[in-house]
Amino acid sequence: MKHKKSLEPLAITFFFSGLWDTIAAVLYFLIIGSGRLIDTPPIDPFFSIFLGSFFVCFAYLQFLSAFNIKRYAFNVGCLIIGRSFYVIQLYTYMLFVQNFPSTFWFTGIIDGLFIILYLVFAVRGGLSCRNLFLPKTETV
């Protein structure tokens, strides 16, 4: 009897990463920005709200994709690329830019953990790189 591979762990992880992005949005809307609780590195409140709006979009995308993760596996691939870029950029700046604050080191760890979980659960669920990084097309 063939064991059916489940994408449920990937969907749950994707949903929780949406919660993480929702928390980030609230932080950027209310706490992060020059003259607010967290202002290192300095960021104009306009840009912090701008970034928060992107986090809301990412969270919405993740919440809805989690309900049909096989169909929206491409969204997982997009988040793998985006989170990888963020983690690499964050730690590169913290390591090589003099006086760059290490305020957000923990976000790099959390986002890195999500990347690993996405990949592990996608592979264990039977998804290929094609499923994650190339959108499925239908002929009309």
Token code pair at residue 120: 């592990």
Mean pLDDT of the chain: 91
pLDDT at residue number 41: 78
What's the pTM? 0.87
Beta bridge partners of 38: 32
CB 55 within 8 A of CB 28: yes
pLDDT at residue number 40: 80
Say how many CA atoms lie within 13 Å of 86 toward its Cβ: 20
Contacts of 25 (CB under 8 A, 6+ apart): 52, 53, 55, 56, 59
Would you tell me how many other CB atoms lie within 10 Å of the CB of residue 63? 16
The owner of tokens 């592979």 is: 123
The pLDDT tens digits of the residues spanning 29-81 come to 999 888 888 888 788 889 999 999 999 999 999 999 999 999 999 999 999 99
pLDDT at residue number 89: 95
Give SS3 for 119.
helix
The pLDDT tens digits of the residues spanning 97-137 come to 988 888 889 999 999 999 999 999 999 999 999 999 997 77
pLDDT over 90, % of the chain: 75
Give the whole-angstrom CA distance, residue 54 versus residue 86.
14
CB 103 within 8 A of CB 138: no
pLDDT of residue 3 exceeding 70: no
